[in-house]
Structure 1
């Protein structure tokens, strides 16, 4: 050890040692911890927290059934070609509104006009043939009447002994020849009439084919799809356009077969489409009479009171059907239920403190559930979320 000159090293050993600062740090930490604990306790149990909730009051409970569905139409039609032809003109496109009988497309079929003209010419020639055959038959009829009268006169004269046997036989032969000629002309008339009818039928076929070259709307509605373009060659049976009557649109919903006895035509319904949050009202139109063997579901058609601004066939939606209304009863939103050990309960505000109360549930709707025992009317019920027992709360107002 190096010691400055003039200093006694033993005196250095007896000098006082400075007090460490660690104790003051511990005291400060203890004070901070205590302050934080007090602040935590105060914040947790004495500072009022604003909580959403509502006052429990009796009301009407809507008992509803819910099921998915798709938008379909009761009146729709596909417009297609009945002949092989090329599309010459398309007068409409998707989303166009059309009236029944309106021209939608025209097909080019060059041979149709020629076939119709030939059929009309054949019909005119056949009509003239019928007239000529009828004239021949009329002449044969007149000849037969003449020969019949001559034969009858020869018979009378032969009976008086005036006419000869040869004259009688000649009269009979002439009569029979006239009868044969009348029969022949009659068959000629029938053949001419058959040819005329065949020509008229060919005219009808040609006109029908000519009409088939003009595609018209079979129903009034909206063009929802167009499968072909101008210039394309069509075969018989090819679809060109698809029409839907918007007034016939329904939501075809699927429900479990166990709900079949609860569904009746006319029941009120609410439909929520995937792209629109506002429900659309409607009513049950009819029930299906088949149950899917795999899913054990049956279908119902729901008529809509209005259509969404944008709609499409096959669009998905969720349907809620009102099957019963009960009340007045005490109900809480289903989102307010909190389960503990398999027991249902709700948070209530008692003397500005949060408290969980076990309840007995009754009938349930889609959004609210009946409370039969456990809490009473007038109590403030709280929306769960961060609540704990004895938490100081202040009700913010009803939940929207």
Structure 2
């Protein structure tokens, strides 16, 4: 072996021995293997009475969302039945009136003159009937004595019948003018309140010109449009809870009738809900709520307790002393009162009755977190 090669090998061996010596003099500290499990460092959460609710069995009503505008069941648009100048219109919006009450008048001079004219024509026709009747009686007597022929009597009979027909026509014309005179007095057809005043005294009214609108607020209706599938679940007599703008408390509505035909284009079916009139209800207010179609017994929790920040909905259940995330299936929703608060409850499957579930006030809690209860909660 060459001398230079020997020196290179010697140098390498010396370097290896030096590195081993340094390793022995300065050993590395022991490290935790990667597969060694860490100690459980789960935190603890304190819960109050408002943070926990129990799964309850309750009657769940299957309901349909409904909305519409309040409308008086009885309303009337009072119009002018004859043309003329409007007189004596004194009622205004909000005034209460009764059925048959005089609310205005149309200038009657022209109609009074027409009525007198028709009466005089009827009197003249009546006089012609009397003349024709006397003529007929005289001819009948002469024919009985053989002085005139039967043809002359028949002519007298025809004249009498013509006079009677003319008189009846004159009487009919008199009835028409008398009705027009009566129509000059404008009366309300229903009892209620004046909703609109659409004309002013002294204004020239055309035939069927609108004068006032009257509404009866003792019974109100809401017209609701439902799909054909939803309408199959509805029948007269069902009840709905409606919230009306301006009112704090909901009101109860009842299905009065269902339209027998669908609307053209939308194919929706109109359902009419009745609401008893009360203070604060006005025609034209917007109403919305839910119409109960059927009821069933089921387990339920407040809707806010069901969390959806995972692929499947789940609830946070107290299992022993720790939190457990339990996947559930939801169903029908309804409104119920809990702790003096009206909450939306949802039907739930995959959990036992009486289980303790965290409410929305507890927030999101990591699974496995230990729980601690305030005194008196459990």
Among candidates 192, 217, 220, match of residue 249 of structure 1? 220
Give deviations 1:112-160, integer Å, cap 9, x for gaps: 11111122222222222211221121111111111x2xxxxxxxxxxxx
Closer, same or farther in 2 for the Cα pair 1:142/1:47, shift >3 Å? closer
- For 1:46-65, list aligned pairs within 5 A: 51-65=50-64
Write the distance in 2 (CA, Å) between the matches of 1:69 and 1:57.
Answer: 34
Shift of 1:108: 1.0
Aligned equivalents of 1:308 and 1:346: distance in 2? 42
Tell me if 1:212 matches 2:215. no
| Residue number in structure 1 paired with 2:349 | 372
Provide the residue aligned with 2:206 in structure 1. Answer: 235
Task: Provide the C-alpha distance between the structure 2 equivalents of 1:238 and 1:330, rounded to a whole number of angstroms.
Answer: 61
Asked if 1 retains the 8 angstrom alpha-carbon contact of 2:224 and 2:270, the reply is yes
Superposed, 1:1-400 pairs within 5 Å as 45=44, 51-146=50-145, 148=146, 174-176=147-149, 179-292=150-263, 294-304=265-275, 306-327=276-297, 329-349=298-318, 356-365=325-334, 367-374=344-351, 376-384=353-361, 386-389=363-366, 390=369
Change beyond 3 A, Cα 1:369–1:293 = farther
Secondary structure, counterpart of 1:72 in structure 2: strand
Contact 2:255 2:271 in 1 (8 A): yes
Q: Larger % of helix: which? A: 1
Taking the aligned partners of 2:288 and 2:280, their CA distance within structure 1 comes to 16
Cα RMSD between the aligned structures? 3.0
How far apart are the structure 1 equivalents of 2:132 and 2:254?
A: 70
Matched with 1:3 is none
Q: Deviation at 1:80?
A: 0.6
Deviation at 1:350, TM superposition (A): 5.5
CA-CA distance at 1:55 after TM superposition = 2.9
Aligned-partner SS, 2:88 = strand
Question: TM-score if structure 1 supplies the norm length?
Answer: 0.72
Could you tell me the TM-score, scaled by structure 2's length?
0.76
Q: Per-residue displacement from partner, 1:152-188 (whole Å, max 9, x unpaired)?
A: xxxxxxxxxxxxxxxxxxxxxx533xx4443343233
- Count the aligned residue pairs: 327
C-alpha displacement at 1:214, in angstroms?
0.9
List runs of 5+ in structure 1 lacking aligned partners: 1-40, 149-173
Deviations 1:233-273 (A, max 9, x none): 11112121222333442111122322122111111221111
CA distance in 2, matches of 1:219, 1:396: 65
Measure the CA separation in 1 of the matches of 2:352 and 2:148.
Answer: 119
Closer, same or farther: CA 362–195 of 1 in aligned 2, 3 Å: closer
Q: Distance in 2 between matches of 1:77 and 1:317?
A: 23
Q: Deviations over 1:79-98 (max 9, x none)?
A: 11122111101243223333
Alpha carbons 1:49, 1:392 under 8 Å: kept? no
Cα 1:259–1:217 change in 2 (3 A) is: same
